[in-house]
Structure 1
């Protein structure tokens, strides 16, 4: 008789991704750089204001992944910060992925935070917190764009947990707060105008600067990209733009036109250029 070893099946322990990247600038001079794990900060040579491109080398986000990006600006620095490619949140069966973004914009400084789209796949679970801290005379342009699935592949997102908190603060006081939550229950309600309608892509741009209200008319003049619904409002040193689209490509074209308008003719970051 042969002895038999009874084995019990246990769920495999999956490897999780961890990454943190930070960059500091004093004027146009790099004064601090840190990167660890899957998060990298690339500093391309570009004319004009310095540019930092954040990158997640893990290829996407799933259960238990943790990612953070940070910048610190002093000495009147003007910085463009973006991401190398669209971030992807994949199916997550064991808890959520978490992303933290924190920018500190010192006196006389300006930040353009222009990450590329976040693509949410079916059964993704993602929590993201974005904070931009402004000094009294600092300014920023913030973009967040989200796409539900790979539209060209015919994917439909039906099961999802997405929590996205976006905050801009000036000297510790909130000047823009946008908590956004999208889950399976809302998606199950189908095309309702109070949610997203037929849209599969959506974005928010916020210019926070003295006199930002003056940008409303120029912005409205270019909100005419076919296939994109858009609206802009200006108040209390802010210009806020909302976009909805059934496909991501027209929305991307509209974002590029808005970037040019809001950034007074400056070209979009190289990684954004078509």
Structure 2
């Protein structure tokens, strides 16, 4: 594509997908809203499970400079919904341009639960990404959320030396923040092998369970054994259980995150995780 001066301009991704549910008389959820625009899509695969699964997809195949993507979810009172992404999201070289921007938002009514379990985000050399995730809980609602970042593909010999990432996660209860987890990665962080930063790791993950009594889940998690090469710790306090982990590559990290999520869910992961 060329502008009026004859200079080449690049097309940018724009996408928004929103999925909402309402409650049936038996307490189960039914789809009540499905809006899709641009490259953002959402579908509900048949799973033969009582809890509906929402799978979000970016049909552009990845993110680069100036892209804009938005996902939205609504869980009704007493409802339970699992949401994920069809595959790993990829943030490509931005060419020195502005960051791609991703916004994820959810509202969970009293007594409801949302498991937001996106697959990993792979960050390539030169990527620029700003992502904000905000989950608004009402009353005694619960959420389980996970986020994994992978710096290049180790199997392909890729390294990441240039990166501009701001990745923010917030959970609010009745409008008051109860969990905030901002992550910022820049070249000076990537070049520091100290344990206070990445310590040479190329994959990092956060798993958080927020809800009444959620701190009790930490005890069972401590009894689990993560795959070799994954360094992790778990904390439980005041209605929260939090896992933080780092690893040398994304493969072992994915195995570890899958193990923790299955334990916290008391059941299998979404089908797209098992491909």
Q: Which residue of 2 aligns with 1:40?
A: 41
Distance 2:131 2:7 in 1: 27
Corresponding position of 1:132: 135
Alignment check: 8 A CA contact 1:202 1:244 kept: yes
Q: How does 1:1-274 map to 2 (within 5 A)?
A: 11-27=7-23, 28-46=29-47, 47-93=49-95, 94-189=97-192, 191-264=193-266, 266-273=267-274
Query: Unaligned 5+ residue runs, structure 2?
Result: 24-28
For residues 29-49 of structure 1, the C-alpha deviation after alignment (integer angstroms, 9 at most, x for no partner) is 101000110000011111120
TM-score, normalised via structure 2 length: 0.94
Q: CA deviation at 1:233?
A: 0.3
Greater displacement, 232-241 / 212-221: 212-221
Counterpart in the other structure of 1:5:
none
**In the alignment, is the contact (CA less than 8 A) between 2:105 and 2:133 conserved in 1?**
yes
1:207-229 deviation digits (Å, cap 9, x = unpaired)? 00111111111111114321111
Contact 1:200 1:246 in 2 (8 A): yes
Gaps of 5+ in 1: 1-8
Residue 257 of structure 1 aligns to a residue whose secondary structure is helix
3-state SS, counterpart of residue 250 of structure 1:
helix
CA deviation profile, 1:64-109 (whole Å, cap 9, x unmatched): 1000001011132100000000000000022110000001001111
Q: CA deviation at 1:188?
A: 2.6
Distance of 1:99 and 1:152 partners within structure 2: 27
Give me the whole-angstrom Cα distance separating, in 1, the residues matched to 2:236 and 2:169: 18
Contact 2:128/2:163 (CA < 8 Å) preserved in 1? yes
RMSD: 1.3
Deviations along 1:185-240, one digit per CA (max 9) or x if unpaired, are 22233x11111112100100000011111111111111432111111000110000
Larger mean Cα displacement after TM superposition, 179-188 or 226-235: 179-188
Is the 1:38–1:57 Cα contact (8 Å) retained in structure 2?
A: yes
Q: 2:119 aligns to what SS in structure 1? A: coil
- SS of the counterpart of 2:55? strand
Task: Return the alpha-carbon distance in structure 2 between the equivalents of residues 220 and 11 of structure 1.
Answer: 57
